[in-house]
Structure 1
Amino acid sequence: MKKRCSWCEGSDLYRSYHDKEWGMPLHDDDKLFEFLVLESFQAGLSWSTILNKREAFRLAFDDFDAAKIVNYNEEKIFELLNNAHIIRNRLKINATVHNAETYLHIKKKYGSFDKYIWQFTDFKVIKNAWSTEDDIPPTSPVSDKMSKQLKKDGFKFVGTTICYAYLQAIGAVNDHITSCFRYHEVGV
């Protein structure tokens, strides 16, 4: 039996996410934007809630296509607010529309969103060595710096805790516990 981080043992969906995605270095701009949207919606909620609604989010937000999202009008926002399959929070929905515009601007300015995001870890994976999940902090100096810069650049719902979870999810920080089989498989 494979040893995993205990947080993922609640369901097959969680285990699959842990085994195939979480902590894998991600460099695709559109996927990086998707994770930013999902992490923003997760604020104040459990990740399992978001993961269980992920496909509904994909459908509702045009497969996280920022070029489409920036054109959402009040009618589309009303539709999203009435979509029982996603998180119906006006602030988070409006922030997603706003963040899509900011994302497109940053992507153009830096040549890619990947370059912008990975600059916070000096374009490499930060490999921690936590023995237990209780050792893993909710934030770090890197997530503090990232949050401050994202806010300065116009992003919303990007506090330091959200940024740290985002860095973990996209594999910029390897926070698999050292006894987890994925610890040596991801990052450098």
Structure 2
Amino acid sequence: MSQKALVLDEQAIGRAMTRIAHQIIEKNKGIQDCVLVGIRTRGIYLAKRLAARIEQIEGEAIPVGELDITLYRDDLSTKTANQEPLVKGSDIPFSINNQKVILVDDVLYTGRTVRAGLDALMDLGRPAAIQLAVLVDRGHRELPIRADYVGKNIPTSNSEKIVVELSEVDKVDQVSIYDK
């Protein structure tokens, strides 16, 4: 794989997260009965960053949870043919019943990861609503799923790959396009 273009640097990611935080507050008329749930791995860190921005803006903390969708994936049998799936577990230390759950992920592509996240959430309770926040929407949907909050729309071809790197995992904040 070779890097084709750097699409977002650290500052651009920060601006996108601030914009999404404001949009979440505006759409929900505050953060009353709202919770953030990040999809493993990078969605968790993005959810924590959103929570910090929202707290700066509103002066009030918003609960954050971590969702592991491994066992809900529809490609589990093909991805783990010769090995057991690595399940890290979800950590949602609050009830999602009657809450507005904002599901957070790094890249929205086919929609299959989000579908798995929706299934996992529904097994945990009955939210009042589920909204989706993503850093990057690259198109190519296979399922009828749309994000409520998008940091950046990056139209891509199927021969390209979007790579999100976050300092908590990768020691750098950037989003790049690679040729497969």
Greater percentage in strand: 2
The reply to whether TM is greater than 0.5 is: no
Greater percentage in helix: 1
TM-score (norm 2): 0.29
TM-score (norm 1): 0.28
Structure of greater relative contact order (alpha carbons < 8 Å, 6+ residues apart) = 1
